[in-house]
Structure 1
């Protein structure tokens, strides 16, 4: 039982770390001489511009920012609630509250990554015209966001199945 508990805690911490990295790091969309994320666009790794109201379709990036931040916060809250339930739940009860919050985190990261996947091309085409290149590829932070989606989904399923034992 102790090994299973350690595995679940390690899995949840890994999910949280993936969400933090995906939300904070600046490599959602990369090209030869630029990289961009949901917070800023950097050209030649020195000239960085914050994404603000001056950008077209700024509301798209605000939605992605909000959902990624919310997913990270919910994942951390789920971990705290899991630890509290670990000591407060009666034997045989399930970690339903933790599973529900972790599932909400999963949905938030899915929404943020899906919006970015769908609207990225329009956003970068209209706002990165000064780079004179539209070629680029998804960066590792974008990929980590989708991996974090899978991890939080599996984690919520584990909490749904898990019962408190002695």
Structure 2
């Protein structure tokens, strides 16, 4: 049982790290010498690196909000898991943890879909690794949430 709990905890920490990195790193889309993330658009110019704030469009603000909510709900589910691990009665299930984790996965999915649909189409644009990390965090957090639903507290 201890190995299962340790494995679930490591998976949860991995998901939290993936969400934080994908929210903070400047690599959601890459175009030639420029990178764009949720917060800044940066351009490499003659050895310098010049950044300007992201646009004020509603869709990018929705993606920002959803990614922040995903990080917060993933953190809240970790806190709920640790609390329930010590306070939950024997045989109880980790429902609050599961609900928070599934909500975090839904927020990540919605943010990535909005970014995919609404980001401007350029001929030489490619999605960066932070965008890929967000898509990797989605199924992992959904699977983690489903594991918490099944998981029961034992002695």
| Cα distance per residue 1:67-124 (max 9 Å; x no partner) | 00000000000000000000111111100111001111011011100100111125xx
Aligned to 1:141: 130
More strand by share: 2
Aligned length: 152
Question: Any gaps of 5 or more consecutive residues in structure 1?
Answer: 126-133
SS for the counterpart of 1:46 is strand
Q: d(CA) in 2 for partners of 1:84 and 1:33?
A: 46
CA RMSD in angstroms, aligned pairs only: 1.1
Q: TM-score by structure 2 length?
A: 0.95
Aligned to 1:71: 70
Is 1:20 matched up with 2:20? yes
Q: d(CA) in 2 for partners of 1:148 and 1:111?
A: 12
Q: d(CA) in 2 for partners of 1:80 and 1:119?
A: 34
Aligned to 2:153: 164
Q: d(CA) in 2 for partners of 1:22 and 1:67?
A: 12
SS for the counterpart of 1:78 is helix
Q: d(CA) in 1 for partners of 2:17 and 2:140?
A: 11
SS for the counterpart of 1:101 is helix
Q: Write the mapping of 1:33-52 to structure 2, written as runs, cut at 5 A.
A: 33-44=33-44, 46-52=49-55
Q: Which runs of 4+ in 1 moved over 6 A?
A: none
Q: d(CA) in 2 for partners of 1:118 and 1:70?
A: 20
| Cα distance per residue 1:23-57 (max 9 Å; x no partner) | 0000000022101011110111611011143xxxx
Q: d(CA) in 2 for partners of 1:43 and 1:76?
A: 33
Q: Write the mapping of 1:79-118 to structure 2, written as runs, cut at 5 A.
A: 79-118=78-117
Q: d(CA) in 1 for partners of 2:70 and 2:33?
A: 30
Aligned to 1:128: none
